[in-house]
Amino acid sequence: MNALIVEDSPVVRQMVQQTLEQLGFETVCAGLGSQGIEWLNKRDFDLLILDLRLPDESGLEVARRIRAQARHRFLPILMLTSDDNRLLMQRALEAGVTELLRKTKIAQLLGSLREYAARVQRQLKGRVMLVDGSPATAELLMGMLRKMNLEVDRFESGEAALEAVDKNHYDLIICDILLSGQMNGLGVTRAVRNLLGDVALTPVLGLSAQDDTACKIEMLKLGANDCMPRPVIEEEFIARVGNLVTNKRLFDQVQQQRRELSEHSVRDALTGLFSRHYLAEVANQLFARGDRIQRPLAVMMVDVDEFRQINDTHGQDVGDEVLAGVGALLAQDCRQGDVAARIGGEEFVILLPDTTMAAALRRAERLLADLRALNPAGVAVTASIGVSAQGSSQIIGFDQLFRMAGEAVQEAKQAGRNQVVSRRP
């Protein structure tokens, strides 16, 4: 990112330059308005810091000259001033200044500068679907979108657009109401909103004829987020597209955060096994199913032996490696339909649907043998394993079987650890 600083005060210029360079900008400095214009004629900048009062001319006049050039119509111009009055603000806005920053309050000035510069750095990025049957109009709109740093895919018909929308991730769909093919823009909007998943929430910007109010209203009723008449005004089009794409990307971030939070509530971060909270939820479902169709169900509880001693001797990092290794082994041992969870510390539980006590004991003995051979982080590991089960004709419930498996674990520990013990209802 490049910034041009046009300021005659060496002190202010240096403060602004240091602030921008700390944010990763490459800076060019000028002390005169004419020098600033020369730099802008040579190259493009992402941000302009412009003093109001320059030795050779007013900053307002410099801003007007800059805005007169089409290539700089959207360049952010931050004007530095010691004045504070409404008339100046009005004149600055009329000259094309983006924002006024007060030089008399240095801390506030630098804070505002950091905030705005960070906003400039977060340039609009995204992918847009343009559905328009007119090559001339499409070319014009694509040029505007590309100037906004947006990737554009263009489709002439609604049918072609719908075929692509479900296969690609778009941040915005811009759709003309009049299209080639059987489907018009109203049909495209309706079809998008009827799709499954997040794709149905993709923002839609409709384009209508100047006097086609009825179609515009109908498109909004069908779920379009916005609608504007053709031919579009470039500044208005850019503002509307920018708002829709920004909101979509913010929505995507929130959705991702929600998914991550949901995953964290379901999974144990260290082992990747299910959490105790999730175990309680799924256990009730599995036991209700087992009772309904009269199928056996077993609970296996695994408690790593002498884990506190492992932590004290080898350190917590090694202890974490041991738990992660045990978790990986339990996950590997699970069949489809089994549920393995870490319920706290060094304790694990496996729910075994459609499993009798005899089958659960065989699996527990095999698991114990695998644990003895595991040696995660070079540490010998054994476990005390408790097993409980209900038969196909019994209705015991998860809470009781869980308690009985825990009692079996305690019995195994009292008997010397490194063994499997069962408890029957």
| 88 and 179 within one domain | no
Residue 162's CATH number: 3.40.50.2300
Residues 283 and 401 in one domain: yes
User: Is 246 inside a domain boundary?
Assistant: yes
Asked if 239 and 189 sit in the same domain, the reply is: yes
Res. 122: pLDDT tops 70:
no
Give the pLDDT confidence of 189-224 residue by residue, as tens digits: 999 999 878 889 999 999 988 677 888 899 999 999
- The answer to whether position 270 is within a domain reads no
pTM of the model: 0.48
Give the ranges where 182-315 is alpha helix by DSSP (H): 185-193, 213-221, 234-266, 276-293, 307-314
**Residue, of 176 and 112, whose pLDDT is higher:** 176
Q: Is the dihedral of CA 273, 276, 278, 282 positive or negative?
A: positive
Q: Mapping DSSP to helix (H, G, I), strand (E, B) and coil, where does residue 210 land?
A: coil
Based on the domain organization, do 84 and 177 belong to the same domain? no
- Dump strand ranges (E) for 311-382: 339-344, 347-353
- Tokens at 322, concatenated: 């041991």
Comparison of pLDDT for 418 and 285, the residue scoring more:
418
- Domain-embedded: residue 82: yes
* pLDDT above 70 (res 262): no
Range of the domain at 188: 126-260
Residue 114 located in a structural domain:
yes
Report, as an integer, the average pLDDT of 141-166: 89
Higher pLDDT, 63 or 179: 63
Q: Are residues 280 and 419 in the same domain?
A: yes
Helix (H, G, I), strand (E, B) or coil at 82: coil
Q: Does the residue 96 lie in any domain?
A: yes
Residue range 149-157: mean pLDDT, rounded: 90
Once rounded to an integer, what is the mean pLDDT over residues 111-124?
72
Judgement on whether residues 294 and 405 belong to the same structural domain of the protein? yes
The verdict on 389 and 414 lying in the same domain is yes
Do 255 and 309 sit in the same domain of this protein?
no
Residue 136 belongs to some domain of the structure: yes
The CATH code of the domain that includes 341 is 3.30.70.270
Query: How far apart, in whole angstroms, are the C-alpha atoms of residue 245 and residue 242?
Result: 5
Q: Please, what is the Cα angle at 419 between 414 and 424, to 5 degrees?
A: 80
Residue 238, pLDDT above cutoff 80: yes
Centre a 10 Å sphere on the Cβ of residue 390 and count the other Cβ atoms it contains: 25
Task: Assess whether 302 and 369 both reside in one domain.
Answer: yes
Residues composing the chain: 425
DSSP 230: S
Q: How far is 225 from 202, CA to CA, in rounded Å? A: 9
With vertex at residue 413, the alpha carbon angle to CA 412 and CA 417, rounded to the nearest 5 degrees, is: 85
How many distinct structural domains can be found in the chain?
3
Is residue 54 helix, strand or coil?
coil
Rounded to 5 degrees, φ, ψ at 183 are: -105, 130
Nearest CA among 29, 82, 33, 41 for reference residue 59: 33
Residues 172, 102 share a domain: no
| pLDDT of 130 | 96
User: Could you tell me if residue 102 is inside a domain?
Assistant: yes
Neighbours of 167 (CB within 10 A): 7
- Burial of residue 194, with CB atoms counted within 10 A of its CB: 0-12 exposed, 13-18 middle, 19 or more buried: exposed
Is 298 in the same domain as 417?
yes
Question: In whole angstroms, what is the distance from residue 2 CA to residue 91 CA?
Answer: 27
Of 260, 294, 325, at which residue does a domain stop? 260
Domain limit, last residue, from 226, 260, 294: 260
Say whether 253 sits in a helix, a strand or coil: helix
Query: pLDDT tens digits for 80-97?
Result: 988 877 788 888 888 999
Question: How do residues 325-353 score in pLDDT, each as one tens digit?
Answer: 999 999 999 988 899 999 999 999 999 99
- Does 306 share its domain with 413? yes
Q: What is the reported pLDDT for 121?
A: 58
The answer as to whether 271 is a domain residue is no
> DSSP readout, 377-418?
GG----EEEEEEEE-TT----HHHHHHHHHHHHHHHHHTTSS
Q: Do residues 420 and 357 lie in contact, with contact meaning Cβ atoms separated by under 8 Å? A: no
**Final residue of a structural domain among 214, 236, 260:** 260
pLDDT recorded at residue 281: 83
What single-letter DSSP state applies at residue 120? Answer: H
Check pLDDT > 80 for residue 104.
Answer: no
Please give the mean pLDDT across all residues of the chain: 88
- C-alpha distances out from residue 146 to 136, 142, 242, 248, Å: 16, 6, 12, 18
